[in-house]
Structure 1
Amino acid sequence: MRLINRITIIIILCLLVNLIGVLWINYATTKSYLYSQLESDLQNAVTSVSMRIGPYLNPLDTEMINATVNAYGNSGFYLSVEVDLNDQPNIAYTQPLKIDGVPTAFIEFAQFPIVEASTSLMDNQWRQAGTLTITGNPAYAYQHLWQSIINTIGWFLLLIVLIIALAAVGVGKMLKPVYLVIRRVNRIRKHYVGDEIPLPNIKEFRFLVQAINNMSERIKTQFNKDARLHESLKLQALQDPTTGLSNRHYFNSHVTSWLSDNPHGYLMFIEITGLDQINQQLGFHKRDEVVVRLGEILRAVCKNEQQYVLCRLSLNQFGVLVTDAGEEDITVLAQELINELHNSEVVNLFEDDDFVKVAACAITEPLSLSKALSLVDNALNQAKQSSEHFFVKSDNKIPIFELPKSELKLLLESAVDNDKVDLEKQAVNCFDEDAPIYHFEIFARLHDEKLGKISAGAFVSTLEDSGIGPSFDRKVIELVMAKLKASSNTRYAINLSSCAINDNGFLTWFEKIIQNDQVKQSLCFEITENTAIYSHESALHLANVLHTQKIPFGVDHVGKKFESLNYLQSIKPDYVKVAPIYTTMAAVGDHRAYFTASLVAAIHNLNIHVIASHIENNEQLAQFIQYQFDGYQGFINTPTSF
């Protein structure tokens, strides 16, 4: 039972005891007063009746005496009025005791005694002519006593209700620090901390809250240490210390996640020969300088951080995952990379001009990691045997990859102008089975007569590079708004592109549209971690706008980059969706699962909900309960048409 309920029960019991005491005092006092009043009234009545009868005693006028007796008897205040005349028949008026409106049980409990009063009748010669006896009617006393009890109970019940209401408000306000402490303990259990609880005025509660605040501060300090340790260990375990690129562990985990989710893109290997000779002739410091420079060139060529995942696979081999690209794009990328390497200052350190080989293989369907890597290895071997610097193995199963960027841009523009954008929704569930669905995420697809259905993964980079993002995002928002139900409490999450939130025209339109009550009630918006980091000012502005309108805001693919999570402290999203790589790490269950747990704890420390992505089945879902995620999504919930 809650404390406030116990306190309320104690208050009610105290009031009931008080009520019983007041009722008894009121009952005893009123009964005594009414009995005294009844006796006094009878004495007055006897005197009055005797004086009225006196003139009719000598000479005796029985008719007038009878009329006087009946007149007093009919008043209802007396059970009987009796005149006992000497040597004459008695003259009397009697009526039964009848008490209306009073329960029988109360009558039996109260038990007013019957009151009588008598006096001698004297004629005008001062001789005793008879005796007058009047018996009082206690019905009025019963009724008055009962009504007094009822009124007392009524006023007391009203007072009890008023006191309970005031006590509920007062005690609830008084116990607010206790509720805040309970909520804080529950949130700490889920690795949330939050700000300090305000100190109450009550001394005992003040000590309790102060203790919880001190504990929270220590836990927050520990969480911050854990977060820094997470970043440090993450860099050590997943980042190449020489180039700052991801290492093979990270690359393999990321590629595994990508391969399981309708992959569309290329895997590229870059092999540099001659590093061993540089090490032998000039030392490992010079070799590392060359490797660092090679990493810088790779970053410079692969500018779109969202489209590429860069990795140093081994001493002389680099890997690149290129999403949303066709053969033309990958050929241009490989040629640009080779040109940059040959034009750099490090080229003179290599004895062989043909020191770089590039191979890429198209991946257009789900594969195992080993199968995908073996395909790229075969392509690299073919490149080594060829006089060309690079070899690209294409796959014509996905015609969209063969479209030049210019044609894909026209296709996107046509889809926006001609309403050829389809929407799908996928549920994001809470781990608490009793909680409602967190929201539905909206996915956009194109439909073309020749190419069929085209998922967002095939055109998202073109959307960003070509500047169509603002018009495309606007179209998606309008389509979703057109299908919203006025009474629906379900939220739908819409992803916003980087170029859209950097476009002033789109932001002006967006800030007007989110003032709509239906939008506030039914929509939420997301951006990617890349957008939050590399367009931080625009992301901060968007976050402030959405927070002002009380619209939920999220960040997707969190943890994909090696940057610190400090950017989350400034934009303060309501929730984040972690990168699929952490799902892969947790599913493996080895030491790398630590990074998933520590990432969730670090984000919870910022009071942000964390959603797991790419959950495929119930077995995998069961593994994730231990990591304190707030929600999950993936193909455990198949996307459906919106």
Structure 2
Amino acid sequence: MTLFRQIYALLFVLFLLIVASIAYVQFTETQSFLSKQMESDINNASHSLGLMLVPALEAGDDVATETLVNVLFEGGYYQQITLTWLVDGKQQVWTNDIRVTGVPQWFIDLNLFKPITKENVITSGWLQLAKLEITAHPGFGYHEMWRIISNIIIVFSILFLIAILFARVGLGMILKPLNSLSEHAQKIAKRQFGPDMPTPKTTELKELVRAFNSMSAQLKQVFSSLDEEVSALRKKNLVDHVSNLPNRQYMVSRINGWLSEPSSGALMLIKMDWLEDVHSQYGYQIRDETIKLLAEQLHQQLDEISPSVIARIAAYEFAVLIEESERDLLTRYLQCLIRTTNKEISKAGCKPNERFNIGIAERLGQMTVTDILAQADNALQRSRQDNKVFHWFENSQQQLFSREDWRVKLTEAINDKQFQFRWQPVMQLENTEVSQRELFCQLSIQDNMLHAGQFMPFVEMLSLGAMLDRCLIETVAKHNLFERNLEPIAINLTFQSISDQDFHVWLKQFLQNHSTPERVCFEIPEASVYSDLLSCEKICHIIRECGAKFGIDHFGRQFGSMTYLQNLRPSYVKLDQSFAFIEENQHNSELCRALVNVAKGLDIEVIVTGIQEQEQLARFSELRLDAYQGFIAPPEEIKLG
């Protein structure tokens, strides 16, 4: 029961006690007053009737006697009058069957008034003429008592309603700071830190509100400190301090994660020997400043063409990772890279297109980090040998289809729901039970079974993401995969679905009509959060409102603040696979621990991904992780019914 209702109930009980006490006192006083009034009335009637009857009794006139008694009997509340003549013992009795009108019978049956009888001897001088006995009728008492009680009930009812109204309004105003305090406490429990509460006028609540404001500010500072710690550790361990670009360690881990996911793109290795000339002519300070300006220009110019990761992996070597791009876009990217670099070369007083080489290796099929680094390095060396600015690594593997072929085949597959599924269990660390299953899709085209890594880049490129996600969700629901196991099924959403308002409307309708929305999970890549936070907030609100869950995939991959977690409040986060490949050392362990602390501080489950062996899992044993995922528990085929 809420505090408002408790106080309200207490005031209600106190009011009833007061009313009951007043009613009891009023009732007893009224009953006593009416009894005395009836007794006084019967005394007066007995005395008056006795005086009037003396002449008739002396004369022995029965008719006159009866007339006088009838006049009195019919004019008052008398139940019975008995006149006994003492001369001859003759007795006359008058009885009144008066019914009490306007008073319920149950009230009369309470017997609130006892019969009152008055005896009187009528005398004439010393001579006793007759004995007169009058019994009062209680109807007068009941009638008056019922009238008074009815009026009291009406008055008290009106006062009660007025008191309830004033109590409700008054308590609402008095307890308003407590309600605000309760809402503020709930937000703090959810790690949502808003502005401070205004200080109320109530003395007892002032200190409490100030304490809550102080606690909220301190907790907010704690999470801000954790966020700053993550940023500081990233900058310390994964960022080159001269160029402010990611370093070699980050790039290698990022390539590992990139190759383990369905994607496309290319890796470029860049050798900039002209920077060595700048160093020899102007010193290391000018060289470092030139590197910083070059990094800024590369980010500014190249990000407009395609999102990429640019890293400084050695003194005069850079690496560029371009994800999910086709050959035409890679060509444009390469041209912009050469043009931007030549501008900086000219500013430094060196000759363009000299002592500057690029090796490009495209991702085709299944590749390892060693494979793609070797191909990119081979292309770089070939570029240096041929004295050319760039060289593409010649790969004998060809694309399966052209861009238009992909559009036709993917559209047909989506419309005909030709996808097949596998799912991979996410295992809990405490008891090794399955906490959820992540869904993967495959596509059969021309007797070739294609995994997501082969067709998903073209899905994103051709803006078919929303259609694909809708198709997959409908197919999963059609085959009752959500009901097949008790564990939730996690479905990865594409970038297009997250920003598509029509998909938001459809997803809301689907979840509202679904029988078990609690078994549906959606995973949103962290890159989408940084690129379109508003759309992420909208779709996350829909998912949460409909009873489903969602998580953040690739958590910790992007360089940025973690404050978005407070706005989105996901059920879980999946650490980026790159953390499973980072070499074990103290600095990396500190970074991973800081990321986990940020999420756990917001009461968010943390799942580590990319776990291939027990040795990898053992490195995370000291962290407060909840579950793990990887080929240590490989994906399982799903047979559709």
Q: TM-score, normalised by structure 1?
A: 0.62
Verify the 8 A CA contact 1:615 1:634 in the aligned structure 2.
yes
**Residue 116 (str. 1) matches residue 122 (str. 2):** no
Verify the 8 A CA contact 1:78 1:135 in the aligned structure 2.
yes
Secondary structure of 2:242 counterpart? coil
d(CA) in 2 for partners of 1:58, 1:634: 128
**Residue 237 (str. 1) matches residue 237 (str. 2):** yes
Verify the 8 A CA contact 1:264 1:364 in the aligned structure 2.
no
d(CA) in 2 for partners of 1:458, 1:216: 49
Measure how far apart 1:64 and its partner are.
Answer: 8.9
* Aligned match of 2:106: 101
Secondary structure of 2:106 counterpart? coil
d(CA) in 2 for partners of 1:61, 1:583: 127
**Residue 167 (str. 1) matches residue 164 (str. 2):** no
Verify the 8 A CA contact 2:555 2:574 in the aligned structure 1.
no
Measure how far apart 1:23 and its partner are.
Answer: 2.2
| 1:287-322 deviation digits (Å, cap 9, x = unpaired) | 65786648966985676655x444445556655555
d(CA) in 1 for partners of 2:284, 2:411: 52
Q: Where do residues 360-379 of structure 1 align in structure 2 (5 Å cutoff)?
A: 362=364, 364=366, 372-376=368-372, 379=375
For residue 92 of structure 2, what is the amino acid of its counterpart? Answer: I
| 1:247-271 deviation digits (Å, cap 9, x = unpaired) | 35544555565566x5344674737
The change in CA–CA distance for 1:137 and 1:85 in structure 2 (over 3 A counts) is: same
Secondary structure of 1:22 counterpart? helix
* Aligned match of 2:136: 136
Unaligned runs of 5+ in 2: 424-435, 478-489, 612-616
Verify the 8 A CA contact 1:357 1:380 in the aligned structure 2.
yes
Secondary structure of 2:131 counterpart? strand
The change in CA–CA distance for 1:338 and 1:494 in structure 2 (over 3 A counts) is: closer
* Aligned match of 1:40: 40
* Aligned match of 2:401: 403
Q: Where do residues 280-295 of structure 1 align in structure 2 (5 Å cutoff)?
A: 293=294
For residue 591 of structure 2, what is the amino acid of its counterpart? Answer: R
The change in CA–CA distance for 1:301 and 1:102 in structure 2 (over 3 A counts) is: closer
Measure how far apart 1:101 and its partner are.
Answer: 1.6
d(CA) in 1 for partners of 2:182, 2:580: 31
Measure how far apart 1:132 and its partner are.
Answer: 1.1
d(CA) in 2 for partners of 1:148, 1:493: 75
Verify the 8 A CA contact 1:446 1:454 in the aligned structure 2.
yes
The change in CA–CA distance for 1:625 and 1:592 in structure 2 (over 3 A counts) is: closer
**Residue 450 (str. 1) matches residue 446 (str. 2):** yes
Secondary structure of 2:135 counterpart? strand
Measure how far apart 1:591 and its partner are.
Answer: 1.2
d(CA) in 1 for partners of 2:73, 2:142: 19
Secondary structure of 1:117 counterpart? strand
Secondary structure of 1:82 counterpart? strand
Unaligned runs of 5+ in 1: 366-371, 427-439, 485-491
* Aligned match of 2:591: 592
Measure how far apart 1:197 and its partner are.
Answer: 1.9
* Aligned match of 1:431: none
The change in CA–CA distance for 1:413 and 1:2 in structure 2 (over 3 A counts) is: closer
* Aligned match of 1:90: 91
Verify the 8 A CA contact 2:553 2:574 in the aligned structure 1.
no
The change in CA–CA distance for 1:168 and 1:421 in structure 2 (over 3 A counts) is: farther
Verify the 8 A CA contact 1:271 1:356 in the aligned structure 2.
yes
* Aligned match of 1:195: 195
Q: Where do residues 468-487 of structure 1 align in structure 2 (5 Å cutoff)?
A: 468=463, 473=466
The change in CA–CA distance for 1:38 and 1:578 in structure 2 (over 3 A counts) is: closer
The change in CA–CA distance for 1:254 and 1:465 in structure 2 (over 3 A counts) is: same
- Size of the alignment, in residue pairs? 580
Verify the 8 A CA contact 1:558 1:578 in the aligned structure 2.
no
Q: Where do residues 190-589 of structure 1 align in structure 2 (5 Å cutoff)?
A: 190-206=190-206, 208-210=208-210, 212-213=212-213, 216-217=216-217, 220=220, 224=224, 227-228=227-228, 230-251=230-251, 254=254, 262-265=261-264, 268=267, 270=269, 272=271, 293=294, 305-306=306-307, 308-313=308-313, 322-324=322-324, 357-359=359-361, 362=364, 364=366, 372-376=368-372, 379=375, 389=391, 391=393, 402-411=400-409, 449-450=445-446, 462=458, 465=461, 468=463, 473=466, 497=495, 560-563=557-560, 580-581=574-575
The change in CA–CA distance for 1:164 and 1:179 in structure 2 (over 3 A counts) is: same
Measure how far apart 1:36 and its partner are.
Answer: 2.2
Verify the 8 A CA contact 1:415 1:446 in the aligned structure 2.
no
d(CA) in 2 for partners of 1:422, 1:150: 80
| 1:7-43 deviation digits (Å, cap 9, x = unpaired) | 3344234324422431232023212221122113323
d(CA) in 2 for partners of 1:254, 1:19: 78
d(CA) in 1 for partners of 2:291, 2:36: 115
The change in CA–CA distance for 1:639 and 1:610 in structure 2 (over 3 A counts) is: farther
d(CA) in 2 for partners of 1:274, 1:160: 92
The change in CA–CA distance for 1:499 and 1:285 in structure 2 (over 3 A counts) is: farther
| 1:400-440 deviation digits (Å, cap 9, x = unpaired) | x6333343344456668x5769899x9xxxxxxxxxxxxx9
The change in CA–CA distance for 1:244 and 1:29 in structure 2 (over 3 A counts) is: same
Measure how far apart 1:333 and its partner are.
Answer: 8.7
The change in CA–CA distance for 1:181 and 1:414 in structure 2 (over 3 A counts) is: same
For residue 450 of structure 1, what is the amino acid of its counterpart? Answer: Q
Measure how far apart 1:133 and its partner are.
Answer: 0.9
d(CA) in 2 for partners of 1:480, 1:65: 108
For residue 28 of structure 1, what is the amino acid of its counterpart? Answer: T
Verify the 8 A CA contact 2:264 2:323 in the aligned structure 1.
yes
d(CA) in 1 for partners of 2:140, 2:621: 80
d(CA) in 2 for partners of 1:90, 1:544: 101
* Aligned match of 1:488: none
| 1:123-177 deviation digits (Å, cap 9, x = unpaired) | 9x99753121112244663676478558746764674465345424422332221
Secondary structure of 1:91 counterpart? strand
* Aligned match of 2:428: none
The change in CA–CA distance for 1:479 and 1:458 in structure 2 (over 3 A counts) is: closer
